[in-house]
Amino acid sequence: MHGFIFARFTVALLSLAVYASTFASSHQPGTSAKNDAAASDSTLDTDEIERVLALSDDLAYGEYLAGECASCHSDHITEGSNVPVIQGLPATLVVRALLAYRSGLRTNTTMGNVASSLGDEEVAVLAHYLASLAPQQ
């Protein structure tokens, strides 16, 4: 499971505990790659994440791109849904997730397809914009 990746955030931000659990359950089950993905995911270089984040903090561009996120990610938990709330997530976590989806380390086909359409700059502005939103309950 991915839970351990989020441990440091969930300690600090209670609302993110909800994210971590829903996110973990949203990961495509039934594949042996699940644990592997989590392990690989955590090996994403922190320097690489910082490099991407430093590319741009253009919030207006991020807001436009985040319109696509809003088609599936609402700012509240929906009963029966496994789609996580992403508004208010730390920027590093958004970058980590999108890079992992883009490279195939995480294997949800919807998110893999979304991430494949984003360059590093787009990943950066999305992360900064989503992080600028208030965490939701």
Partner 1 sequence: MKPITRREFTTLMGVGAASMLASPALLGQTKPRVVIIGGGAGGATVARYLAKDSGGLIDVTLIENSKQYTTCFFSNLYVGDVRDFASITHSYDALAGMDGLTVVNDLATGIDRDARTVSLAGGTSVPYDRLVVSPGIDIIYDSVPGYSEAAAEIAPHAWQGGPQTELLKQKLDALNNGDNIVMVAPPNPYRCPPGPYERVSMMAHMLKTRGFSESTISIIDTKPKFSKQGLFTEGWEQNYPGVIEWLPPEIHGGIIAVDVNAGTVETDLDTFEGALLNIIPAQKAGSIATDAGLANETGFCPIVAESMRSTIDENIFVIGDASIAGAMPKSGFSANSQAKVAALNIRGDLTDSRVFPAKYANTCWSLIAPDNGVKVGAQYAAGEDGSIVSTSSFISETGESAEMRAATYQESVGWYDSITTDMFG
Residues contributing to the site for partner 1 (CB under 8 A) = 25-26, 28-31, 60-61, 63-65, 67-68, 70-74, 78-83, 109-110, 112-114, 116-117
Find the shortest distance in angstroms from Cβ 128 to partner 1: 15
Closer residue to partner 1 (CB): 17 or 83: 83
Q: How far is the CB of 96 from partner 1 (least distance, A)?
A: 21
Residue 29 or 46: which CB sits closer to partner 1? 29
Q: Measured from the CB atom, is 7 or 137 closer to partner 1?
A: 137
Q: How far is the CB of 104 from partner 1 (least distance, A)?
A: 12
What the block records as the tokens of 117 is: 């359409």
